[in-house]
């Protein structure tokens, strides 16, 4: 077992307005309180839409909830004439800790390429935000190159050329598993995570490789989470659809009940 603290991250995508966000966060927090969830042992973060962040931040502060706050994107720019974009400094002011970078839905629908992903990672480091760098192969890429080639290439690009590398998390999310109900095998997730860790070791340092958390994402549910987290290579999960369902998400947070670590 490694010293890395597991991270359960809920990506709400474009779901729930700020009032609905209050209800979901409260229910998650109450359910985890009822089962004495130890946040020191398993960290839990939610990634609501931008318009919910201030409300969720206020709720977490007021009720002293131990859930962590994440955003789903950030601008590569610091400030200025970039209509519609949100600066890292603004997120930092809202006590946002994590930012999803390079999610496959942004790569696909917003044409985010490896260079932009790299610049957004840089914006996170500059603002002391922790990027959750999302990498993953399509079905065609899986068939042509195997599972690890594309994730390793994407991570390499994302980590290239930074003057200062801060903390980061990597999320291995096979594109074909996101929102489809199909999942990678736990062996595949573990093997790709291992290769990603080797890549971090080569590009950054052995110490960073040892400390960095690598998550699996793609149709994770309470019923399948244990398989992924049984491997010491996988340090948590990035959850989409199931993060909107209280019993599902809190069941995933309690994965240790099903895994002997
Ligand atoms: C995601 O959005 O990162 C994700 C993994 O979605 P889902 O769990 O719905 O597949």
Q: Give the model confidence (pLDDT) of 217-258 as tens digits.
A: 999 999 999 999 999 999 999 999 999 999 999 999 999 876
Q: Is the CB of 174 under 6 A from ligand 1?
A: no
Which residue, judged by its Cα, is nearest atom 3 of ligand 1?
A: 240
Q: Is the CB of 220 under 6 A from ligand 1?
A: yes
3-state SS, one letter per residue, for 218-232: CCCCCCCHHHHHCCC
- Average pLDDT of the chain, as a whole number: 96
For residue 28, the surrounding DSSP H or E stretch is helix 18-34
Work out the average pLDDT over 174-203. Answer: 95
173/260: higher pLDDT: 173
Of 14, 239, 245, 248, the residue with max ligand 1 atoms within 8 A of its CB, to mutate for a pocket test, comes to 239
Using the predicted structure, report yes or no on whether residue 1 has a pLDDT greater than 60. no
Q: Give the model confidence (pLDDT) of 10-67 as tens digits.
A: 999 999 999 999 999 999 999 999 999 999 999 999 999 999 999 999 999 999 999 9
Judge contact between 214 and 183, C-beta under 8 A: no
Q: Give the model confidence (pLDDT) of 112-156 as tens digits.
A: 999 999 999 999 999 999 999 999 999 999 999 999 999 999 999
Work out the average pLDDT over 172-181. Answer: 94
Which residue, judged by its Cα, is nearest atom 2 of ligand 1?
A: 240
The domain spans of the chain are: 7-258
Nearest atom (ligand 1) to Cα of 103: 3
The token pair at 124 is: 């996170």
Q: Name which CATH class applies to 7-258.
A: alpha beta
Output the pLDDT for position 258: 66
Distance between CA 37 and CA 174 in Å, rounded?
29
Nearest to 70 by CA among 51, 89, 87, 95: 95
Nearest to 101 by CA among 205, 22, 173: 173
For residue 22, the surrounding DSSP H or E stretch is helix 18-34
Q: Tell me the pLDDT band of 259, cut-offs 50, 70 and 90.
A: low
Q: Tell me the pLDDT band of 3, cut-offs 50, 70 and 90.
A: confident
Q: Is the CB of 132 under 6 A from ligand 1?
A: no
For residue 98, the surrounding DSSP H or E stretch is strand 98-101
Of 108, 151, 173, 249, the residue with max ligand 1 atoms within 8 A of its CB, to mutate for a pocket test, comes to 173
Nearest to 136 by CA among 122, 121, 149, 120: 149
Nearest atom (ligand 1) to Cα of 220: 8
């Amino acid at each position: 077992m490694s010293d890395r603290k597991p991270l359960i991250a809920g990506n709400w995508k474009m779901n729930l307005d700020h009032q609905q966000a209050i209800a979901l966060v409260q229910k998650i927090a109450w359910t985890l309180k009822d089962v004495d969830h130890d946040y020191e042992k398993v960290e839990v973060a939610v990634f609501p839409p931008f318009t919910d962040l201030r409300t969720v931040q206020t709720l977490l502060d007021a009720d002293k909830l131990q859930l962590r706050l994440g955003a789903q994107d950030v601008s590569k720019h610091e400030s200025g004439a970039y209509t519609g974009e949100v600066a890292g400094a603004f997120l930092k002011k809202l006590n946002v800790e994590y930012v999803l970078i390079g999610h496959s839905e942004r790569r696909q629908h917003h044409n985010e390429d490896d260079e932009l992903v790299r610049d957004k990672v840089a914006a996170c480091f500059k603002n002391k935000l922790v990027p959750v760098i999302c990498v993953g192969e399509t079905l065609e890429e899986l068939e042509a190159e195997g599972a690890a080639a594309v994730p390793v290439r994407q991570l390499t690009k994302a980590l290239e050329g930074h003057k200062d590398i801060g903390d980061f998390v990597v999320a291995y999310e096979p594109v074909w598993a996101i929102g489809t109900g199909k999942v990678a095998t736990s062996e595949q997730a573990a093997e790709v995570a291992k290769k990603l860790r080797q890549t971090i070791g080569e590009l950054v340092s052995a110490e960073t490789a040892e400390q960095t958390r690598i998550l699996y994402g793609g149709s994770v549910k309470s019923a399948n989470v244990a398989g992924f987290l049984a491997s010491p290579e996988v340090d948590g999960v990035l959850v989409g659809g199931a993060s909107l369902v209280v019993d599902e998400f809190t069941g995933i947070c309690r994965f240790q009940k099903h895994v002997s670590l």
